[in-house]
Amino acid sequence: MMHKHCFEALDKTLRDIIGYKDASKSELPFGGKIIVLGGDFRDILLVIPKGSRQDIVNAILNSSYLWPHCELLTLTKTMRLQNSDADTDLKESKEFSDWILVVGDDSIGNSFDGIDKVLI
């Protein structure tokens, strides 16, 4: 995860560069160029030194003016499962893949004092 200002700076730079030759492109996000970003929004949030929860939430890309122009695509198939030869490896990989998704969806674990515990 990167601060939203990084993406906004890239947007403004591309608008300036591309808008120099074609002024109509300066109105489009990223100067009309398609930008592919990869990541996991369930990953760790940004670290804002001495920042509050509100500061951290306001720093992510979802709170940027660019977010409405983004198209979110999700992976639906675990490619690791496609390359396994043995049935036992396939079963273990499938179980691990399902477990990772359940942990990522925050639907596993017992909450004690705001701390979730997951059996590994």
DSSP per residue, 21-44: T-GGGGGSGGGG--------TTSP
What's this model's pTM, rounded to 2 decimal places?
0.64
Given a contact cutoff of 8 angstroms between Cβ atoms, the answer to whether 46 and 3 are in contact is: yes
**What local confidence, expressed as pLDDT, does residue 13 receive?**
94
Q: Which residue type sits at 77?
A: K
List of the chain residues with pLDDT < 50: none
DSSP state of 45: P
How far is the C-alpha of 67 from the C-alpha of 50, rounded, in Å?
26
How far is the C-alpha of 39 from the C-alpha of 41, rounded, in Å?
6
**What local confidence, expressed as pLDDT, does residue 14 receive?**
93
Q: Is 11 exposed, middle or buried (0-12, 13-18, 19+ CB in 10 A)?
A: buried
| Residue recorded with tokens 């399902």 | 98
**What local confidence, expressed as pLDDT, does residue 6 receive?**
93
**What local confidence, expressed as pLDDT, does residue 43 receive?**
73
Q: Which residue type sits at 64?
A: S
**What local confidence, expressed as pLDDT, does residue 73 receive?**
83
Domain boundaries, the chain: 1-72, 75-120
Hey, is 83 helix, strand or coil?
coil
